[in-house]
Structure 1
Amino acid sequence: MESATSILFEIGKYTVKPIKRQVSYLFHLNTIFNDLRKAKEELVLIQAMVQERVERARMNTEVTEKNVHEWLTNVNQVVADMHTLGNKIEENKKSCNDQFPNWIGRYKLSKEATQMTMTMRKLHLEGNFTQVAHRAPTPGIEIFLSSDFEMFESRRLAFQQIMEALCDNNSYRIGVYGMGGVGKTTLVKEVFKKAKESNLFNDIVMATVSLTPDIGRIQGEIADQLNLKLDEESSSARANRICLRIKSVEKILIILDDVWKDVELEVIGIPYRDDHKGCKILLTTRSDHVCTLMDCGRKIPLNFLSEKESLGLIKKFACIVDDYPPLNDVVLKVVKECKGLPIAIVTVGKALARKPLTEWKVALKQLKESRLMDIEGVDEEKNVYVCLKWSYNRLKRKTRFCFLLCSLFPEDYDISIEELTRYVMGLDEFGTINCLEEVRNEVRVTINKLIDSCLLLESNRETHVKMHDMVRDVALWIASGGDNEFKLRVCTRLEKNENFDSMTAISLMTSNTEKLTSKLSCPRLKILLLGRNELGLSEVSETLFAEMNVLKVLSLRLKVLSPESFDSFTNLRSLYLSHCIFTNIYSLGKLKRLEILSLYHCRMDALPNELGELQNLRLLDLMRCECDQQKPIPPGLLQRLSLLEQLYIVKDNFKDWDDANRCNVNLSELSSLSRLIVLSLHLSMKRIPEGFVFPDLQRYDISINSFYGYHIFTGRQIPEYPNSRILRIIKFDASSPNAFKLLFSNVEYLLIDSCGMEYLIDITGGNHAVMFSNLVKLSLQNLSCLRTICQGPDHQLTFSNLTVLELNYCRLLTKLLSPVVAQSLRKLENLKLSNCNALKQIISKEDRMLLHSQNQHISLPKLRFLEIVGCNQLEYIFPITVAQSVPLLETLIMRKLPKLKQVFGHEDEGEVGDGNDVILSQLRWLILQDLPDFGSLYQGTCSSMWPSLEALKVVNCPEMKSSFAADLEANMRALGKKLKVLHVESGLCDLVLLLLTQGLLNLEDLGINNCEELEEMFKPEGFLSQGNHQEQLLLSRLTVSRFEVSVNECNKMTCLFPVTIADGLLRLRRVEIKGASQFVEVFAQKDGRDGQIRKDVILPKLKYLRFTQLPCLVNLCPRNYHFTLPSLYRLELDVLTCPDITGCFTRTLDDVVHVNGEIDEKEELACKAHNDSHSKTLNNDNASFCITIGHYRLHLFGEQRLE
């Protein structure tokens, strides 16, 4: 009983309390609702506090925390729900009285109010937030990106190169460089946008470095964009924090804009690439050199806009939409003045936006006069002048001076570095310098710096540079300000009543003025450049120079110059006279301070003896100078010029030195010029005086009996003023080679032609300097007596810098190089031997085995081009041991070598290869022609691999079928992908057909020669047939832009293509067929249907057709076929050997040629009546198509006739 009571008590304890709560819902509604009101008041109070904190954070551009935002939403919702509940309670009270209450309604409302009170109290507790918001991540540069960016074609390439580099896992640092204002920042911002859209990186940040990097500011920019708070005070601690943050990102791109010098990225906090391979750096700079200093693996230049792009850009910013021809003409001229520089185009475009034609005309005139700053509306703080002046200010003093000096040359002018050097020397702005060569080196350094800074442009000639017109305008603007440190005030045109008192430089090189008859008062003038246009000045007043007492540099082009003109030039240091005509120039002897005298292309009676009085003269330039007298240079004159360092004498009437009949200057005078280090000399003589030796020179271009002015190897124009060491010797006495022994020690380019020497150099008996160690290119031509390169021990002979070696018609030469000398050819790139009939060994056998026993091998690691032609005794080219040592060989040409058996062979038993396959990984061209004994590339069983081969030509090599077959099969897969040119004959046709079945995707040129058994190449089904081979040929898979076919001496072939595959020959460009006695049609119907259904075929790229020795040839295509040839340019037919040719060739008005299979007798092509005819030619020059038959020209197309 007691236990039962206990159990009931426990049950009651757990049931009474809930029952009591449920009952209270019926009787305490007002109390419960009052508790709810109190909870709501407390919650609203804390809600206001939180909301105030959120508003303050929002004003600081902070982002509300997600849980705070959700809390506020929940609070608003519960407060709104309470108002709804209060309304329901009021309605409940109104709907009942005290005697009959709505118990169910009261119960529900009380229970809902209780639960709402609990929710409010919970929200109250949750509202005590420690942080309601956080700093918003910086959006990077997105908000600054212009939606107006246009991807010009000139920018597309650079953009693509940058994106490719960003996707390249091996590219970590990419540099974009270009002139200030060319658009580098705009481009990398677009790269930022594209990379962001493509999700190439997890994070992308961009910071501006500027001329003087502020490390703290740069760190701040990077940290803000990474949402990183930097509390550390020291720069190193901040760098560590940034580095940790960057390393936490798997892939990140950091763009550094406007970099001027080498910046230590670790100081900023950017990790080195080995520490974080997912971090890439993209930087912009005005200097190529900065890209190098910053270790950029990819350097991408950004150049100027094209004229079309420039026109579109200026119209956009000038808001030009109407097509108004007068305005458009002026706008185009303005664009041309801006020379494709975007910042100049934008500056001018904005300034002239919506302006009338007259203002455009005024602006054009101001631009032509280099006065952009005078244009109304140009922002004085943001324009091309200010932008480029930043670059100028960054330069060192000497570089700034050369920059301003370059502005004296006309627009679009090829500035000669040699000429610039002479002006610098004359102006004496480089301080104390011992010799001209030092000045030249200093100028070269400054020029390179200006090119690196994109303030100068490279010219097509390596000895010249160019200056962008807008950059030139900036330089003139800087100089005209008068506040530059050089006090250089420049005048480039003469204005009426202009005061020249302050001018220090006047350049009228392109002035249209032909006469200067009045005196110019220029008391401060230091440099004067006059009359460099084609005509020059026709007349100059004798008093013109009277008040130029401090003039140091004068450049003058005149038709006639009076001797009295030089009287006032007492301070002149550099005188450059061009194309002048003198009666007498004895007064030049009065210019005691003159150091540089150039008489380029001038004409006179003779050099005056008075020139010997110029004791300070360091440079004498008589290049292309003409003298009328028999003694152009008086004997003894040169040796009086004891300080002479550079001498240039190149002209026919200066060439006959030591001619007894003319008593001209003696070469021995050169020996007395102890300071002479640069010599340009053109001589015509059979021998050099006994005992004479050319002095030791640093630079020279000496030509003996040689046509001066063309490169000895390329035929291109060479610089008139030598920048290297060149020696040409032609038709010269064999007894005089030792006259050049000092030059042989440093010569770089050497040509010897038609000389009777037996050896090139004699080093027997006595000590000699190492010969030819600086030689870069050696050409030996027509040396019929040459037996060896070196007479004597060759250990002092080295070709360690030789890149090109050419020998031609050296008929007695049996051995070219000893193994010791061959070992020195580590830089040889090009070897060409031709018509050396006695040559048996290129590398002699002697000492080869000794090298082999010492484990030394001859290696040609740089050899790229090898051509051997007409050397009748050669059985192999190199020893087999060299086969593995030509890794860069790209071109191998062997022609007309009757005894050649292998390219790499051996004669001694101990001299064998290693037995491994030889891999010529870079070989692209392999040409083997007229080699009757040639068996293979290598002796032995090893195969050769050519994975990069693009051209294969094998002609008249009857002995190489079996061995070469193995090589072809070994290379089959590679050839299918790479081969572009394929020419073979006779026994190799089977292999060619096998190659074709592989699908030569890049084949451009196919030639088949002398394959007598070949009946057809392509079957109607698109199959290729020869013997038992029947494999599908996929011509439609060709990826090249052209396809050419030639067939010669294939007498069983009846057609070239089945007409069923004609539609697939979209890239066919050229067809030549010769010597096929059964050939009927180019395209033939092979299925027997005989063209029952008319078919149209277009060959869109076919330009050239040639047919000869085809007695059965009837037509291009079968009956009922119509071929359209829109690109046909030339059709050649040999009438005598193609007597049955018929067909209808017509031309439409749009110059498209059509060929029909139907035969129309009235338009028959044969023209058999002309028995003396030799050829028929169809020419399309957009004016006429015609047939040429002997001396007759007959029109081929219907009613239109030609005479």
Structure 2
Amino acid sequence: MRHNSYRIGVYGMGGVGKTTLVKEVFKKAKESNLFNDIVMATVSLTPDIGRIQGEIADQLHLKLDEESSSARANRICLRIKSVEKILIILDDVWKDVELEVIGIPYRDDHKGCKILLTTRSDHVCNLMDCGRKIPLSFLLEKESLGLIKKFACIVDDYPPLNDVVLKVVKECKGLPIAIVTVGKALARKPLNEWKVALKQLKESRLMDIEGVDEEKNVYVCLKWSYNRLKRKTRFCFLLCSLFPEDYDISIEELTRYVMGLDEFGTINCLEEVRNEVRVTINKLIDSCLLLESNRETHVRMHDMVRDVALWIASGGDNEFKLRVCTRLEKNENFDSMTAISLTSNTEKLTSKLSCPRLKILLLGQNELGLSEVSETLFAEMNVLKVLSLRLKVLLPESFDLFTNLRSLYLSGCIFTNIYSLGKLKRLEILSLYHCRMDALPNELGELQNLRLLDLMRCDQQKPIPPGLLQRLSLLEQLYIVKDNFKDWDDANRCNVNLSELSSLSRLIVLSLHLSMKRLPEGFVFPDLQRYDISINSFYGYHIFTGRQIPEYPNSRILRIIKLDASSPNAFKLLFSNVEYLLIDSCGMEYLIDITGGNHAVMFSNLVKLSLQNLSCLRTICQGPDHQLTFGNLTVLELNYCRLLTKLLSPVVAQSLGNLENLKISNCNALKQIISKEDRMLLHSQKQHISLPKLRFLEIVGCNQLEYIFPITVAQSVPLLETLIMKKLPKLKQVFGHEDEGEVRDGNDVILSQLRWLILEDLPDFGSLYRGTCTSMWPSLEALKVVNCPEMKSSFAADLEANMRALGKKLKVLHVESRLCDIVLLLLTQGLLNLEDLGINNCDELEEMFKPEGILSQGNHQEELLLSRLTVSRCKRLRQLFTLNIAQSLQKLTFLNIDRCDELEHLITQHDQILPEAHLHHKCFPQLVEVSVNECNKMTCLFPVTIADGLLRLRRVEIKGASQFVEVFAQKDGRDGQIRKDVILPKLKYLRFTQLPCLVNLCPRNYHFTLPSFYRLELDVLTCPDITGLFIRTLDDVVHVNREVIDACGGITEVLLVSSYC
């Protein structure tokens, strides 16, 4: 409750524990005296203002004598204002409540008043203007188990009962009210009653469990939420329960069922139905009756919520009779059923079903589908409107029976012909998703009412017959995505022609994947509202990130790959409304030509633009670009546009108010991202280019760039979080320009959101800004400066100016040479959150962590987060860790030391003594990989006394250490007489090269067991002493699994397996 928000909303589905949570908050807040007063009132679906006022007044010891509600509200308001700090908890809020009517003051009237409310709807939190919203999710399995044992009074550890209890808990799916309901019902009950209850839960029959409270249980609780929904929303909710448990429900598939059932009244087009279903789904998510999926085009239904939906649908007073079966039972009566979903792994359905009222039938919803269906199965389903079949084989004769069918959804079916589909005269939606067939029959053209045709991933041997599509005059949505559909513009007319699509006047949704070298004439679709058109593109992956995208487009996507230079201009009409555009490997010199006449504004709807491998591209726009606007563009990516010298004019750059991500790579001729022309004119008019939403900026491999943006842009990137500059040989500044009129001196530039700053391989780079301004990075978490030899002192000054903030927030730090002094100062002060540290070419460094630094205080191991450490070319470094630091680095995972000529020890004490008694504390318990290269004064890797703590060590590589003798060494160099056992359980790989003094892995009196060891690589020419001693005494020193020696050139590889295991 220390959050600054005036109102905090806790929301979640009924029974998830909202009331229990706020009651606990009430209790804890009273105990801790966080507030002077705390009150709690229940609001309910229909708020009774007088009752709520009375509850609040009683807890404030306030007597209300006034009769009018407004007078009572004034008294309560004055009383609340008299309390310096007060918490008001409002439970069970269903809609927007005017708190002032109750007597709760505005936030500005009393800033010491906090309001905590609970609701079943995220939308209510928004209506109530909650500054912070807290979604309440489900319990973890361990929490659920503890809760049910508490209410079931289980104290004895009886394994048979515990096993069943755990299974019962899993059926409750983390829903607290379900767990409490079952726990109370089974309190002190014997094992057999738990088993019966488990069976009933698996069959979605919680209400049949003996002892369940019929008035206070999850079913009643969720049905209360259901009853508050409008009819269309209730319908969609019940329809979702037709899908199996834990199923990702496709919103597109659900929409097609709704279309077929015609439950939304008179609607002119399918897109209107889709929009209404989407709104309804959002309401159900908002009410916590549906859950969001990992895929934005899908939703999920909690298993217990699904059970409740099925219970509701099976009730006698429900308008939508629904039945979900795991299997069909003999003599079962389906006469009253209007919906059936068979979700089991049953492979055959051979008996007839009598379902005279059935409107929707879903068969084979599981992944396996059905292999055989009787021809008579559908004989008595005369009013069926929606049929979904996931079958391995389909009998086409069955289609003759579906005279009223409006929606047919076939998935993964295999059949030789589907001629009888032409008899489904009322069919409006036909999906042949992932089906295999010889050919689409001409008879499909007889489906005069067809509005949606889905051939996604459809595998057919023969092309679509010419003239078929244009006969479907009412078609609104067409989905054709498969490599089989090639040569659409073939002159021999054995295939469908693109002109047929242009003749479909009602077509507004199109998914199309084409393979062709040139775009044919007539590729014009002016009325498309949604589309995903791919030319020579591998379908199914996001055009920017590689992530898989929805198969059914929610937006307007255009991918153009390997088309002739003149072809892209044919897309002008689509360019006017395209949202996601990828152009790759096309021979164009410009993206759009707007010379010679009036043209519509281009790219005004574009959200993401990716230009890849355009070796001839010289400019984005040929002609005046005042009609070119990128007002909605959020992502701009360019890669391998080798002839492009200027990217954006100042006029176009001014339109980039929503740009969030800019990534340019391997554009070798690019000199200016924003061209100089007209920029000074803007400056003289006191107009400046602003990128107020830019968050990510990455420029890599552009050989001609001397700066990224003019200095005037530096103050207009307030949200910049990531700045990455790599392999830019001429780059001098990020923000800079040769026109002196634009240089500003003396002003601080605050990049308040900058978290990642990466500068690598910039041989001419001096600083972020031209001039003498100081840059502040209060939020910086990662700083990498590598191979920037001309780095100016101004950047070091920036780093020093940010010292305090860096000490608190920095997690990644990689620097070299001129910045090392400042880094050492930071290390002395302590970098408590540092996770990744790299130091390169720091000649003055003699010890890494000084005793006065926080990191050297071994008493706070939990505060040290360093997991990766790389030290390279530090010629004077003598020691890396003190013993205290080694014991404090509990999270160190990777250690890489390279060319540190004076380094003698990784772990040492200031007096050079390593007392064994002290080293038995675990050092580096998370260490996985160690690599040491060209450290000629190092004699060993670790003292042997810490070896038993290296429980995760997997890989060790040592190269070029002329005095290196042992991997693990005794402190005084002498082997003792007492045999000591050490196990390195994860060690798999050892590689030793150019170690002339190496004789052994460890002292003779130590016995190492390596149960996971797999590979040893030795350069026998440069490790001469080990070839005798190490291998000859191997069985005495090291326990491994097997031994095979295979000499190849100068490398001896030893794969070790022994008879000891």
Task: Flag whether TM exceeds 0.5 (same fold).
Answer: yes
Residues 602, 629 of structure 2: 8 Å contact kept? yes
Residues 244, 365 of structure 2: 8 Å contact kept? no
Deviation at 1:1069, TM superposition (A): 11
With 446-455 and 694-703 compared, the bigger mean Cα shift is at 694-703
Deviation at 1:350, TM superposition (A): 1.4
- Which structure has the greater CA radius of gyration? 1
Partner SS, residue 555 of structure 1: strand
Partner SS, residue 1190 of structure 1: coil
Q: Judging by fraction of residues, say which structure has more helix.
A: 1
TM-score between the two structures when normalised by the length of structure 2: 0.84
CA distance in 2, matches of 1:472, 1:1033: 47
Q: Do residues 608 (structure 1) and 441 (structure 2) align?
A: yes
Deviation at 1:960, TM superposition (A): 1.4
With 185-194 and 1096-1105 compared, the bigger mean Cα shift is at 1096-1105
Aligned to 1:303: 137
Any idea what the Cα deviations from partners look like across 1:837-888, whole Å, max 9, x if unmatched?
1111111111111111111111222222222111111111111211222222
After superposition, the Cα gap between the structure-2 partners of 1:216 and 1:1100, relative to the gap in structure 1 and judged at 3 Å, is farther
CA distance in 1, matches of 2:852, 2:988: 26
CA distance in 2, matches of 1:1063, 1:682: 60
- Listed as ranges, the matches of 1:263-278 within 5 Å are 263-278=97-112
Residues 293, 299 of structure 2: 8 Å contact kept? yes
After superposition, the Cα gap between the structure-2 partners of 1:972 and 1:306, relative to the gap in structure 1 and judged at 3 Å, is closer
Residues 1128, 1153 of structure 1: 8 Å contact kept? no
Any idea what the Cα deviations from partners look like across 1:384-437, whole Å, max 9, x if unmatched?
110000000111111111001111111111110000000011111111111111
Partner SS, residue 964 of structure 1: helix
How many residues were matched structurally? 994
After superposition, the Cα gap between the structure-2 partners of 1:192 and 1:1070, relative to the gap in structure 1 and judged at 3 Å, is farther
After superposition, the Cα gap between the structure-2 partners of 1:1028 and 1:224, relative to the gap in structure 1 and judged at 3 Å, is closer
With 1140-1149 and 1106-1115 compared, the bigger mean Cα shift is at 1140-1149
Any idea what the Cα deviations from partners look like across 1:738-792, whole Å, max 9, x if unmatched?
2222221222221111111111111112222222222222111111111111111
Deviation at 1:612, TM superposition (A): 1.1
Residues 999, 1029 of structure 2: 8 Å contact kept? no
Residues 489, 502 of structure 1: 8 Å contact kept? no
Partner SS, residue 1156 of structure 1: coil
Deviation at 1:360, TM superposition (A): 2.2
Residues 961, 995 of structure 2: 8 Å contact kept? yes
Residues 830, 863 of structure 1: 8 Å contact kept? yes
CA distance in 1, matches of 2:585, 2:867: 54
CA distance in 2, matches of 1:653, 1:408: 34
After superposition, the Cα gap between the structure-2 partners of 1:1067 and 1:191, relative to the gap in structure 1 and judged at 3 Å, is farther
Deviation at 1:1053, TM superposition (A): 8.4
With 930-939 and 1121-1130 compared, the bigger mean Cα shift is at 1121-1130
After superposition, the Cα gap between the structure-2 partners of 1:1069 and 1:186, relative to the gap in structure 1 and judged at 3 Å, is farther
After superposition, the Cα gap between the structure-2 partners of 1:282 and 1:628, relative to the gap in structure 1 and judged at 3 Å, is closer
Deviation at 1:1028, TM superposition (A): 29
| Structure 1: tracts of 5 or more residues without a match | 1-168, 1160-1164, 1168-1186, 1193-1203
Aligned to 1:240: 74
CA distance in 1, matches of 2:349, 2:596: 66
Residues 425, 436 of structure 1: 8 Å contact kept? yes
Deviation at 1:567, TM superposition (A): 1.3
Residues 832, 864 of structure 2: 8 Å contact kept? no
Partner SS, residue 957 of structure 2: strand
After superposition, the Cα gap between the structure-2 partners of 1:679 and 1:671, relative to the gap in structure 1 and judged at 3 Å, is same
CA distance in 1, matches of 2:1025, 2:302: 64
Residues 545, 565 of structure 1: 8 Å contact kept? yes
With 233-242 and 311-320 compared, the bigger mean Cα shift is at 311-320
After superposition, the Cα gap between the structure-2 partners of 1:1132 and 1:965, relative to the gap in structure 1 and judged at 3 Å, is farther
Any idea what the Cα deviations from partners look like across 1:881-910, whole Å, max 9, x if unmatched?
112222222222222211112211202232
Percent identity between the two aligned chains? 96
CA distance in 2, matches of 1:1020, 1:1064: 24
Residues 1003, 1038 of structure 1: 8 Å contact kept? no
CA distance in 2, matches of 1:285, 1:1068: 50
Deviation at 1:439, TM superposition (A): 0.9
Residues 1143, 1156 of structure 1: 8 Å contact kept? no
With 423-432 and 653-662 compared, the bigger mean Cα shift is at 653-662
Deviation at 1:1111, TM superposition (A): 6.4
CA distance in 1, matches of 2:521, 2:439: 28
With 485-494 and 927-936 compared, the bigger mean Cα shift is at 485-494
Residues 479, 490 of structure 1: 8 Å contact kept? no
After superposition, the Cα gap between the structure-2 partners of 1:1070 and 1:254, relative to the gap in structure 1 and judged at 3 Å, is farther
After superposition, the Cα gap between the structure-2 partners of 1:862 and 1:1142, relative to the gap in structure 1 and judged at 3 Å, is farther
Residues 997, 1023 of structure 2: 8 Å contact kept? yes
Deviation at 1:1050, TM superposition (A): 7.3
CA distance in 1, matches of 2:1019, 2:657: 52
Any idea what the Cα deviations from partners look like across 1:51-97, whole Å, max 9, x if unmatched?
xxxxxxxxxxxxxxxxxxxxxxxxxxxxxxxxxxxxxxxxxxxxxxx
After superposition, the Cα gap between the structure-2 partners of 1:265 and 1:1091, relative to the gap in structure 1 and judged at 3 Å, is farther
After superposition, the Cα gap between the structure-2 partners of 1:1140 and 1:419, relative to the gap in structure 1 and judged at 3 Å, is same
After superposition, the Cα gap between the structure-2 partners of 1:1031 and 1:1073, relative to the gap in structure 1 and judged at 3 Å, is farther
After superposition, the Cα gap between the structure-2 partners of 1:803 and 1:1034, relative to the gap in structure 1 and judged at 3 Å, is closer
Deviation at 1:1061, TM superposition (A): 13
With 894-903 and 489-498 compared, the bigger mean Cα shift is at 489-498
Residues 570, 593 of structure 1: 8 Å contact kept? yes
Residues 576, 597 of structure 1: 8 Å contact kept? yes
Q: Do residues 1131 (structure 1) and 962 (structure 2) align?
A: no
Residues 1002, 1039 of structure 1: 8 Å contact kept? no
Any idea what the Cα deviations from partners look like across 1:130-152, whole Å, max 9, x if unmatched?
xxxxxxxxxxxxxxxxxxxxxxx
Residues 182, 342 of structure 1: 8 Å contact kept? yes
With 482-491 and 366-375 compared, the bigger mean Cα shift is at 482-491
Residues 804, 830 of structure 1: 8 Å contact kept? yes
CA distance in 1, matches of 2:111, 2:486: 65
After superposition, the Cα gap between the structure-2 partners of 1:346 and 1:1058, relative to the gap in structure 1 and judged at 3 Å, is closer
Deviation at 1:945, TM superposition (A): 2.5
Deviation at 1:288, TM superposition (A): 1.1
Q: Let me know the Cα RMSD of the aligned residues.
A: 5.1
Partner SS, residue 1040 of structure 2: strand
Deviation at 1:1138, TM superposition (A): 6.5
TM-score between the two structures when normalised by the length of structure 1: 0.75
Aligned to 2:904: none
Deviation at 1:927, TM superposition (A): 2.2
Any idea what the Cα deviations from partners look like across 1:34-59, whole Å, max 9, x if unmatched?
xxxxxxxxxxxxxxxxxxxxxxxxxx
Residues 646, 670 of structure 2: 8 Å contact kept? yes
Residues 1005, 1045 of structure 1: 8 Å contact kept? no
With 1020-1029 and 280-289 compared, the bigger mean Cα shift is at 1020-1029
Deviation at 1:1015, TM superposition (A): 5.8
After superposition, the Cα gap between the structure-2 partners of 1:1037 and 1:552, relative to the gap in structure 1 and judged at 3 Å, is closer
Any idea what the Cα deviations from partners look like across 1:213-265, whole Å, max 9, x if unmatched?
11111111111111211111111111111111211222111111111111111
Aligned to 1:1111: 996
Deviation at 1:618, TM superposition (A): 0.8
Residues 723, 757 of structure 2: 8 Å contact kept? yes
CA distance in 2, matches of 1:1030, 1:265: 49
Deviation at 1:714, TM superposition (A): 1.6
With 596-605 and 1016-1025 compared, the bigger mean Cα shift is at 1016-1025
Task: Decide which of 166, 172, 181 is 1:338's aligned counterpart.
Answer: 172
After superposition, the Cα gap between the structure-2 partners of 1:679 and 1:422, relative to the gap in structure 1 and judged at 3 Å, is same
Residues 694, 743 of structure 1: 8 Å contact kept? yes
- Listed as ranges, the matches of 1:317-332 within 5 Å are 317-332=151-166
CA distance in 2, matches of 1:872, 1:548: 71
Deviation at 1:974, TM superposition (A): 2.9
With 887-896 and 964-973 compared, the bigger mean Cα shift is at 964-973
Partner SS, residue 779 of structure 1: strand
After superposition, the Cα gap between the structure-2 partners of 1:1018 and 1:488, relative to the gap in structure 1 and judged at 3 Å, is closer
Deviation at 1:595, TM superposition (A): 0.8
After superposition, the Cα gap between the structure-2 partners of 1:1023 and 1:863, relative to the gap in structure 1 and judged at 3 Å, is closer
CA distance in 2, matches of 1:527, 1:664: 35
Deviation at 1:285, TM superposition (A): 0.8
Residues 1016, 1025 of structure 1: 8 Å contact kept? no
Residues 518, 567 of structure 2: 8 Å contact kept? yes
Deviation at 1:1058, TM superposition (A): 11
Residues 839, 870 of structure 2: 8 Å contact kept? no
Deviation at 1:946, TM superposition (A): 2.6
Aligned to 1:593: 426
Partner SS, residue 1189 of structure 1: coil
Deviation at 1:964, TM superposition (A): 3.4
Any idea what the Cα deviations from partners look like across 1:931-975, whole Å, max 9, x if unmatched?
222222222222323333332222222211544333333333333
After superposition, the Cα gap between the structure-2 partners of 1:836 and 1:426, relative to the gap in structure 1 and judged at 3 Å, is same
Aligned to 1:1181: none
